[in-house]
Structure 1
C-alpha cells in the first residue's frame, strides 16, 4: 500500500503524510519562528536522542540557516550520562541561505538508562558555497509507503554536474515529533544538468516506531564524516562517506593497520568510501571484515588523497581492518595539487590551451581552495584569461612566489573579473 498526492487513495494509517508532501516547502521555513538573534538554530522539537538497535546512543537534529548567506556550522553537543558529561563536536556540511539540513551524531560511550541531551551550542563561519542546484520534485511521485520508506525524484536545475549528491530528510512518528534523520542509501554517482533521477529513503530499522511522514528534504553534495585517531604518537585525520556507520577507530602498535567497528542496520546493500592522506604515496592496502578479505577499489583523487571503497552488505556488522599504511604521520600536503602545477608549466610553454589551464583554476574554486563571493557560474565557452597572467603563473611555477601568493593573485583577478571562469 502506498500514499500518493494529491487526490489518490491513501492508507488511513498514513493519511497525514499529505501534509508533508503538499506543504513541505513552507513547513521547513515557518514552522518555528526564530527570535532576532537566532539566525542559525536547532528547534527544540527537531532535536532529541535515542538508543539504536546496536545500543549506540544517537542524537539527531535539524540546523536552520535563516541568513542571506551560506555558512558552515560547528555543532557542540553534550549528553549527561550517569552524572558524567560527554561532549562531541560536529563540523556540519555547508548550508546555503534559507535552507535546513539535518544531522546525526553517535555516542558509543553512553550506556546509562536515561541520558539527558543538553541544548546544542552553535557556531559558524561564512562560506561562498552556492545553493545545491538540486530540486526535490513535490508531486504524486513523492510517495510514503506503509513500511515507512519513501520514494521520490530529484532534478538538477543548474548548469553544472553535481557529483555524489545525497538527500536527507527528517523522519516523524506518531508519538514522537521527530524519530530520526535518514538519507538515501543507494549511491547517486552524479546528476547532469536538467537530469531527473529517482531516490529512495528507508527509515533506520533501529527506529522501531511507525513512521508518520517525512519533512525537510535537503539535498547535499558532501556528507563525509571526519574521524581522528592516534597513530605513531600523533593524530591521524581521515574521513569516510557511507550509508553505514563506523566508529572506535584504532591503529595497531606499528601504525600500519587501522581497526574500526562498523555496521549497516539497513536491509539493503550500501557502500563505504574511506579517504586517507598519503604518507609516501606508495601505500598498497588490504581490507578485511571480521578477518575475511573483501573486494575493494584503491584510488587516488585530484588532491593526492587515497580512497578505499567497497560494498557493504545488508545488516552487516563487525571489525573492519585496513592494512598497508606506512609508519609515521602524513607530511603536510601542498594547498594546490601537483597536477595543477604541471598544467601551469604546460600552459606557460603553450603546450595546452587557456581553457585547459582554466579547468584547473575552476577546480580550485570547486574544492573551495580559493573563493570569491557571488561568483557567477558561466559556460566554459565564456571563460577567458589575459596573456599577461602567465607572468604570475611562471613565478609560482619557479617558486619565486608561494602557493598563498599565487592563490591570492588568482582570487583577486577573478574578483575583478579580469579572469572569468
Structure 2
C-alpha cells in the first residue's frame, strides 16, 4: 500500500472480486503485524517550516514484552528518486505507544509519495517510565495550537532529561504532527509535579483540535555514523527541535561539518557526544563560519560532550574542530566508576540503592542489556 500526498487517483475495478481484494490489501498493514504496527491514520508526511520533508508516525507495541523497533521508511520524490531511511526507535515498554519523527532533507519535489513503513524489532528489557500526564483542567490546548499541562513522577526514583511526546490532531482526528516539549526538563523527582508545554511545527496551518498518545521518553539521543580516516566514526546528539544531517570529516579527520535546521520559534540547545581518541582533544565550534560559545566536558563514561545554544528558526553549517587524527580506541563496557562502586558496595561502604542506581543508568542508556 502507498500513502500518497497527492489526491487519490480514481480506479475503475473490473469486478467486485477485485474491489474486495483491494479492500483487503488496504487493511493488511494494521493486521499483518498486529502486535507491533503503525496505524495508517497515525502516519503522515509534510514539509516543515524550514522546507525539510518530515515523516511522523506512532508505533504501537501490543506485546507483553518490551522491544526496540527498527523502522524503514521510503519516500519517492517527484522525479521518481527513491530515498530509504532505516533507524532504530527508542525502546518501547509492553502495551505502550511511542510516536516518532524523522526527516528527509534529500526530498525536494512538490508531491513526494510516502510509502508504507516497514517494521521489525528486537526484544529488550524496559519498564514503563514512571511519569504520568495529569488529565484534568490544567491540560489545555490553546488557540495557537500548543498544549500545556502537568506531569507527575509516580515512581520511586528520579528520571533525568525526560521528554514528553504527543500526536497533534486536526479535523476529525487527522494527524498533523508529532511534537514534544522544547524546554528541557533536567529531572523530575519521585512525587514531583512539573509543568510542560508542547508546540507543533510552525508549518502546521490547520487548526489543532487535540493531542493524543502522550508518551514520556528518557532516551532520545540521535546516533550518527560517518567516515573518518578510512574508518567509521560513531557519535550522538540530543537537541529538542533541531535536526542535524550530512555529517562529514575533512581529509585529515580533524574537523566535523554537519548541517542543522530548527523550525521552532524558541531558543533551544544541542549536546553532541563524541568518543575520545586521545582524551586530550580541545574543540572549537563555528556556525556558518562564526565562532560560538560552547561548553566542553567529559561524562562519567569518558565521552566528550560539546554543548551550545541554538537560535530560534535557524539553519546553518556547524563545524566542530579539534578532533585527533584516527579513530577512537575501544571504550570499556563497564566504566571505572561502576567498578569502584561495586567494590564499595561489596564492603558495605554504600547501600544497595546507590549501587543499583548506577546499574540502572547503564541499562537505561543501553550500554548493557539484562
Q: 2 CA distance for matches of 1:50 and 1:358? A: 44
Find the aligned partners of 1:75 and 1:264 in 2 and give their Cα distance. 23
**Aligned 1:266-285 pairs, distance under 5 A:** 266-285=264-283
Query: Quick one: which of 264, 283, 295 aligns to 2:293?
Result: 295
Question: Does the CA contact (< 8 Å) of 1:251 and 1:259 recur in 2?
Answer: yes
2:322 aligns with: 324
Could you tell me how far 1:242 is from its partner in structure 2? 0.7
Unaligned runs of 5+ in 2: 1-28
Q: Is the 8 A contact 1:290 1:318 kept in 2?
A: yes
Cα offsets for 1:18-47 (capped at 9, x unmatched): xxxxxxxxxxxxxxx953741000011111
Written as runs of structure 1 = structure 2, the 5 A alignment for 1:346-357 is 352-353=349-350, 355=352
Counterparts of 2:357 and 2:137, CA distance in 1? 40
**Is 2:44 the partner of 1:39?**
no
CA distance in 2, matches of 1:358, 1:242: 28
Three-state SS of the structure 1 residue aligned to 2:174 is: coil
Give the Cα separation in 2 of the matches to 1:223 and 1:116.
27
Q: Which of 229, 249, 252 is the matching residue for 1:251?
A: 249
> TM-score, normalising length from structure 1?
0.76
- Correspondence for 2:220 among 223, 226, 248: 223
Aligned 8 A contact 2:166 2:211 in 1: yes
1:213 to 2:210 alignment? yes
Structure with the larger strand share: 2
Shift of 1:95: 0.8
Provide the alpha-carbon RMSD of the alignment: 2.2
CA displacement at 1:300 relative to structure 2? 1.5
1:70 alignment partner in structure 2: 66
Which residue pairs with 2:119 in the alignment? 122
Find the counterpart in structure 1 of residue 24 from structure 2.
none
Find the aligned partners of 1:219 and 1:64 in 2 and give their Cα distance: 14
CA distance in 2, matches of 1:220, 1:311: 22
**CA deviations over 1:104-138 (Å, ceiling 9, x no partner):** 11111112222111111111111111001000001
The yes-or-no answer on 1:134 pairing with 2:131 is: yes
Between the aligned partners of 1:261 and 1:217, the Cα distance in structure 2 is 30
Give the Cα–Cα distance (whole angstroms) in 2 for the partners of residues 117 and 36 of structure 1. 19
With over 3 angstroms needed to count, the CA separation of the structure-2 counterparts of 1:365 and 1:48, relative to structure 1, is closer
Match of 1:389 in 2: none
Verify the 8 A CA contact 1:258 1:322 in the aligned structure 2.
yes
Conservation of the 8 A alpha-carbon contact between 2:30 and 2:40? no
The structural deviation recorded for 1:263 is 1.9
Q: Name the counterpart of 2:313.
A: 315
Greater gyration radius: 1
Give me the whole-angstrom Cα distance separating, in 1, the residues matched to 2:368 and 2:58: 29
Q: 186, 189, 194: which is aligned to 2:191?
A: 194
Partner of 2:75: 79
Which residue pairs with 2:22 in the alignment?
Answer: none
Q: What SS is found at the alignment partner of 2:209?
A: strand
| Mean Cα deviation higher: 239-248 or 191-200 | 239-248
Q: Match of 2:31, SS?
A: coil
- The runs of 5 or more residues in structure 1 that have no matched partner are 1-32, 373-421
Distance in 2 (CA, whole Å) between partners of 1:272 and 1:109 is: 23
Q: Is the 8 A contact 2:166 2:179 kept in 1?
A: yes
Match of 1:203 in 2: 200
Q: Which residue number corresponds to residue 11 of structure 1?
A: none
Structure 1 residue 245 displacement after superposition: 1.4
How far off is 1:148 after superposition? 0.8
The question of 1:156 aligning with 2:153 is answered yes
SS in 2 for 1:179: strand
What secondary structure is seen at the aligned counterpart in 2 of 1:35?
helix
Distance 2:72 2:30 in 1: 20
1:9-20 alignment runs, 5 A limit: none
Say if 1:229 and 1:250, in contact at 8 Å, map to a contact too. yes
* Segments ≥4 residues shifted beyond 3 Å: 33-37, 341-348, 350-372
Alignment check: 8 A CA contact 2:49 2:201 kept: no
TM-score (norm 2): 0.86
For residues 71 and 304 of structure 1, the distance between their equivalents in structure 2, rounded to whole angstroms, comes to 28
- Asked if the contact 2:48–2:263 (Cα under 8 Å) also holds between the matched residues in 1, the reply is no
CA-to-aligned-CA distance 1:349-368 (integer Å, 9 cap, x gap): x5944656555445444444
- Say if 2:262 is the partner of 1:264: yes
